[in-house]
Amino acid sequence: MTELSQERRLVTSIPGPKSQELMARKVAAVPSGIGVTLPVFVTRAGGGVLEDVDGNSLIDFGSGIAVTSVGNSAEAVVRRATAQLADFTHTCFMVTPYEGYVEVAEQLNELTPGDHEKRTALFNSGAEAVENAVKIARSYTKRTAVVVFDHGYHGRTNLTMALTAKNMPYKEGFGPFAPEVYRVPLAYGYRWLTGAENCAEEAAAQAIDMITKQVGAENVAAIVIEPIAGEGGFIEPAKGFLPKIAEFAKANGIVFVADEIQTGFCRTGQWFACDDEGVVPDLITTAKGIAGGLPLAAVTGRAEIMDAAHAGGLGGTYGGNPVACAAALGAIETMKELDLNARARRIEEVMKGRLHAMQEKFAVIGEVRGRGGMIAVELVEPGTKTPNAAVTAALAKACHAEGLVVLTCGTYGNVLRFLPPLVIGEDLLNEGLDIIEEALTRV
């Protein structure tokens, strides 16, 4: 395959005629519940670009929602997955196991926070990993309640919809949901009523008070939290909040679960976002960036907790598929060889520098936030903190028309988020930021 040229190139309007034809086929064949952010149909992708059926080359600031951190066709991922495809595609690890699964588990046991003895179980998706983390925590503690946070997102299965905060589009019309799920405040500094400087202390106190009084700490099996809230708006909890919640969990025999599905694997400039404040979770869930685009997820955690489930209680037909495991080993090899943590930190430096300058020029930008290659701007009505979902949608649409793939998020629909592949070239990164700045002048 010829190498993909790392440049933005528009030869038709976006979407082009061939993409429009395919979109008509999609509408006829695929349920409308499966939406599409940008209806261009991709034929090739790699580095920092996506090439569509019409020959357009778009800059990728989405990475398939933080999945293709090593690029869409990283050499080590392709090499290892191809070799595994030639050997065998499936046996089911629970029937006749294979070394690749064990290798991935060993790597995750080593890379995740903490030097305690660990175990790893592999699954297919982030939601499946979160669901299994709850199962494991309940088995270990013999308790049932699960505590989650405002603005949290944990998946689309029945249990993980219950764990997820935002109703539309994730929960609307799909209930009833799993019971024994309780939601408490997150330390959202930008919107904390008494100011960001008070946020960590007050939010932690409120959350702990609610757990103690409304649930009973002795009834809580797990506290599940994203170290940076992803779908909820790339909210980085105020410094000190996570350690306080983790300490409360430890003091009360509660399993502290870090949902690092979007933040893990170099995305924030560290292997895992928990590393930033030295928080060591009891269990950590991972997916997305783990396998260079192949479906794989994991729960990694303290050996005594992971071993609590009875034999046969964990698993699934495709969990830890051998080709996905090979891809994961290739992705981890790439992360180490290219030092993608350093690349993520450089992306943050470039993006935040440019975005803070834009914030000075455009009053619609309320806050620039995030870490590493996980950066966002919250858009507001100028002079207020009133969420501005309309301008967010218009800005995303303007970027799409110019060949820049961007995503929106946030509980209020007013956050523009950036998740470029960590291997993106700096010229493409700056060109994408040029497009954002130009779009801001027009919305």
Dump the DSSP string for 379-408.
EB-TTS--B-HHHHHHHHHHHHHTTEE-EE
Task: Kindly report, residue by residue over 16-32, the tens digit of the pLDDT.
Answer: 999 999 999 999 999 99
pTM score: 0.97
**What does the alpha-carbon distance between residue 73 and residue 71 come to, in Å, rounded to a whole number?**
6
List helix spans (H) across 14-125.
17-29, 63-66, 75-87, 99-111
User: Could you tell me the two tokens for 420?
Assistant: 């470029």
What is residue 392's predicted lDDT score, i.e. its pLDDT? 98
Residue 69 identity (one-letter amino acid): S
Residue count of the chain, please give it: 443
User: Could you tell me the two tokens for 255?
Assistant: 């399993």
CB atoms within 10 A of CB 414: 24
Within 8 A by CB and 6+ apart from 142, the residues are none
**Vertex 226, ends 344 and 396: CA angle to 5°?**
60
The fraction of the chain above a pLDDT of 70, given in percent, is 100
**What does the alpha-carbon distance between residue 370 and residue 350 come to, in Å, rounded to a whole number?**
13
3 band by pLDDT with thresholds 50, 70 and 90: confident
Q: Is the pLDDT of residue 1 over 60?
A: no
**What does the alpha-carbon distance between residue 163 and residue 177 come to, in Å, rounded to a whole number?**
9
Q: Is the pLDDT of residue 280 over 80?
A: yes
Residue 331: strand, helix, or coil: helix
Residue 243 half-sphere exposure, CB side, CA atoms within 13 Å?
A: 10
| Burial call 159-195: b when 16+ CB within 10 Å, e when fewer | bbbbbbbbeeebeeeeeeebebbebbbbbbbbbbeee
Q: What is the mean pLDDT of residues 265-290?
A: 98
**What does the alpha-carbon distance between residue 104 and residue 163 come to, in Å, rounded to a whole number?**
27
Largest CA distance in the chain: 62
The fraction of the chain above a pLDDT of 90, given in percent, is 99
Q: Is the pLDDT of residue 194 over 80?
A: yes
Within 8 A by CB and 6+ apart from 244, the residues are 200, 204, 208
Torsion of CA 109, 111, 112, 117, to 10 degrees: 30
| Element at 174 (helix H, strand E) | none
User: Could you tell me the two tokens for 92?
Assistant: 């089911």
What is residue 2's predicted lDDT score, i.e. its pLDDT? 61
Mean pLDDT of the chain: 97
Residue 41 identity (one-letter amino acid): F
What is residue 443's predicted lDDT score, i.e. its pLDDT? 86
Task: Kindly report, residue by residue over 309-339, the tens digit of the pLDDT.
Answer: 999 999 999 999 999 999 999 999 999 999 9
Q: What is the mean pLDDT of residues 366-372?
A: 98
Beta strand 404-405 with 57-60: parallel, antiparallel or unpaired?
parallel
69 band by pLDDT with thresholds 50, 70 and 90: very high
Task: Kindly report, residue by residue over 102-138, the tens digit of the pLDDT.
Answer: 999 999 999 999 999 999 999 999 999 999 999 999 9
Task: Kindly report, residue by residue over 43-63, the tens digit of the pLDDT.
Answer: 999 999 999 999 999 999 999
